[in-house]
Amino acid sequence: MSTLNATEFALLDNVAGLDWAEVPECTGPELVRRTAAELARGGRLCAWFGVPEPAGTRIVAVLAFDADNTLAVARSVPLNVGYPALTLEHAGAHLFERELWEQHAIRPEGHPWLKPVRRTDEAGTAPSMGEFFRVEGREVHEVAVGPVHAGIIEPGHFRFQCAGEEVLHLEIALGYQHRGIEEALTGGPHPLTASQMEVVAGDVSIAHATAHAMLVEALAGSEPPLRAQWLRAVALELERLANHTGDLGALANDVAFLPTSAACGKIRGDFLNLTALVCGNRFGRGLVRPGGCRHDLEPARIAQLGDRLKSAMAEAERASAWLWDAATVRARFEDVGTVHAAQAAELGLVGPAARACGLVRDVRYTHPAGWHRLAQMPVAVWPGGDVFARARVRWLEVQRSGEFLGEQLSAGPEGPVREKLPGLLPDRLAVALVEGWRGEVCHVALTDSAGRFRRYKIVDPSFHNWTGLALALRGQAISDFPVCNKSFNLSYCGFDL
Amino acid sequence: MFVIDTFLHRLKRGRETMAYPKGPAPALPDRHGGSLRVDGAKCVEGCDACVAVCAPQAIVRPGAGGIALDLGRCIFCAECVQACPAGAITQTGDHRMAARRREDLVLGAPGQEEVRLAAALDDKLRRLFGRSLRLRQVSAGGSGAEEADLNVLGTIGWDLGRFGIQFVASPRHADGLVITGPASRNMELALRKTWEAVPEPKIVIAVGAEAISGGVFAGHPQVHAGAASVVPVDLFIPGWPPHPLTILDGLLRLLGRLEEDRRDRDPQGHGALGQERPVN
Ligand code: SF4
Ligand code: SF4
């Protein structure tokens, strides 16, 4: 069934591991050629990163074949200087290659815009001081926004090239939130690792913690108790509900539609409080750990969850109905910030941003792992690629998460929620994908001969999607930036790591 | 038609803002556990069970005496509570944790079993800010969750505006900063500049374990050890992230706007006593 050439890539399932020695190896240019060929055949680039060795840096490519429900990995021989850039054929690789160059000084030759992703050139400077693409012309002016923005939000720098009100080009410079998470994982897992995973992006705690836990479990050659897998799936949807509802409210606020904005702000809190009912923390911190979960749900708690979920869902239904009913809202959402399906596919967008272009990309459906092997969810797609479509997909997902929880809350399997985990196997590579509310959360790890992390790669969905926002602004009035930005609502710290 | 529907809906729901602080505070989730208490006197000689299980190294055992638990570094996992054979560390269920001085967050010494809660600003600042406080938020490596729960304070249930507290877009319009995150090195310059742009007199509030001490990133070369490494901090609000109630309590405490400040929580007289006007 697979169209893949299995000698060029090793195939594996989501949350599966294989021996590092089994990962096919080739030269740098050959890896680029093979990867480009598979991307052209419908593959998707999940990760492209370096593994440093004494002889040089190997590139590891992780691809997803959504239609075949399979993942594929390959690696290069150790490289020391450069290789022909994959970006030239597949624009979606551009940030991965900049990152590789930044982290390992391996130069993707011919990369059209090679500049740091997170690093600043010298101490005491900031990412906004780097070089920016400029549009020249008498009528063209530049607008610089950030890192500190006008709301309670994370920092990032946006550089617009405008002709009057119209945005010709937007370049986004991030890195302000860099906390050194990947670097700290080398030699791990450490005692603090599981906690750090919960703040890779603090509003996606469950998804990142689950990806990490499943990855460690795969590397240990074990699987957590079924009840833990169920509980993780429940928590994942609670996380989605809170954030999607919050986003709908924030979108309403950006077009001055206050009834939905005010209501959703509160309902979002109600959903966060459901997560707190599960584990005490509104963001789910401290719930998911390698080996299982740290809390269980007793019947009375499940009943309370169910009741409170029902009333929050009813309120969300009502608040969103106003939104769809209002012509003023439609006028501000429709045909604003459009990303076409072809662009989304080329850039490798994920999550609601991709599904709002009609692309069927949802890890829960295409690469089911954990509880999602047993309880499927339909994929919510909407055509159009504009702000309206991104809002609409969120609402469809709110409904589906609500239905999923309604069915699943009472369907938890019996048994423990946590088991002791054996040590990690040496020289293994594993990949774990989880569909967080922003999209695909990807964790890849390689162990050394002692079973410690030799390299750990995290790809937050925002890493794929920030370029989508930049494209959405092309030809748009600069005053539409807030609503476009909100419609993506990407993570700064998830990108910056 | 949504116009009529929204009006009817609002009428039916009535006022949704919580009664607190006039009425009782909303309950914390039962598994939250609230603040911690350390009874140093109960600590067992030769034991270090809590030190061993505390992943962020919030607990140290400095020599023969009891332990020192730093609430400014704590992620409230309660592993130490479960590990302690003597019941020396307990959860209080109390949402109040904000302190004015960094050392007031370190628990364990005699007389310092619980957090020494924040005292109000001095009279002069309180006259300036007590009924109108404009804050500029700066995330400097914040995870997005601290920021989210600061935003929550602006929603109808909490309605921060009723206390005259408002988040503003420009530091020039602000009376102070609210900082989240460990102060990442890449944000250092922007944080410093934002602070400099706030006119004097100004206050700084650090929200969450990372902003207080570097939290789970303490020791990473890419970050500082919290906001105070870059600018002076006037109020520390612990939590991972702090519950909105904990943040609100801290803000009101700083402004001397809590009735219960009259209660004697503070043996050394740091609490804001007297001169209290009822809220609203
Ligand atoms: S509750 Fe705080 S002090 Fe206790 S183990 Fe957890 S982080 Fe350490
Ligand atoms: S576990 Fe309890 S008895 Fe042991 S050192 Fe900690 S506080 Fe003292």
Q: What is the pLDDT of residues B105-143, one digit of tens each?
A: 999 988 889 999 988 888 888 888 888 999 999 999 999
> What spacing in Å lies between the alpha carbon of B77 and ligand 1's midpoint?
5
Give CATH for domain B123-254. Answer: 3.40.50.12280
Size of interface A-B (CB pairs under 8 A): 180
Distance from CA of B70 to the nearest CA of A (A): 16
Using CA coordinates, name the residue in chain A closest to B76.
A286
What type of residue sits at position A367? H
SS3 A464: helix
Q: How far apart are CA A274 and CA A313, in angstroms?
A: 12
Tokens at residue A132, please?
């920016």
Distance from CA of A62 to the nearest CA of B (A): 27
Could you read off the pLDDT tens digit of each residue along chain A, which spans 497 residues? 445 555 799 999 999 999 999 999 999 999 999 999 999 998 999 999 999 999 999 999 999 999 999 999 999 999 998 999 999 999 999 999 999 999 999 999 999 999 889 986 666 677 877 888 999 888 899 999 989 988 899 999 999 999 999 999 999 999 999 999 999 999 989 999 999 999 999 999 999 999 999 999 999 999 999 999 999 999 999 999 999 999 999 999 999 999 899 999 999 999 999 999 999 999 999 999 999 999 999 999 999 999 999 999 999 999 999 999 889 999 999 999 999 999 999 999 999 999 999 999 999 999 999 999 999 899 999 999 999 999 999 999 999 999 999 999 999 999 999 999 999 999 999 999 999 999 999 999 999 999 999 999 999 999 999 999 999 999 999 999 999 999 999 999 999 99
Q: A184-215 burial by CB neighbour count: b if 16+ within 10 A, else e?
A: bbeebbeebbbbbbbbbbbbbbbbbbbbbbbb
Are the beta carbons of B189 and A285 separated by less than 8 Å?
Answer: no
Domains of chain A (ranges plus CATH)? 10-109 (3.30.460.80), 190-447 (1.10.645.10)
Q: How confident is the model at residue B190 (pLDDT cuts 50, 70, 90)?
A: very high
Counting ligands in written order, which one lies closest to the CA of residue B81? 1
Instruction: Answer yes or no: same fold for B36-107 and B123-254.
Output: no
Pocket lining for ligand 1, CB < 6 angstroms: B 53-54, 56, 58-59, 69, 74-80
Are the beta carbons of A152 and B137 separated by less than 8 Å?
Answer: yes
Are the beta carbons of B186 and A126 separated by less than 8 Å?
Answer: yes
Q: Work out whether strand B36-38 and strand B59-60 pair parallel, antiparallel, or are unpaired.
A: unpaired
| Domain map (residue ranges) of chain B | 36-107, 123-254
DSSP state of A477: B
| Burial zone of A372 (CB within 10 Å; 0-12 exposed, 13-18 middle, 19+ buried) | buried
Chain A residues within an 8 Å CB radius of B93: none
Give CATH for domain B36-107. Answer: 3.30.70.3270
Q: How confident is the model at residue B177 (pLDDT cuts 50, 70, 90)?
A: very high
Are the beta carbons of A277 and B29 separated by less than 8 Å?
Answer: yes
As beta bridge partners, residue A61 has: A48, A74
> What was the ipTM of the complex prediction?
0.92
Tokens at residue A484, please?
């476009």
DSSP state of B225: S
CA distances from A307 to A274, A303, B172 (A): 10, 6, 46
Taking the Cβ of residue B242 and every Cβ of chain A, the question of whether any pair is shorter than 8 Å is answered with no
Q: A90-129 burial by CB neighbour count: b if 16+ within 10 A, else e?
A: bbbbbbbbbbbbbbbebbbeebeebbbbbbbeeeeebbbe
State phi, psi for A441 to the nearest 5 degrees.
Answer: -95, 120
Taking the Cβ of residue B195 and every Cβ of chain A, the question of whether any pair is shorter than 8 Å is answered with no
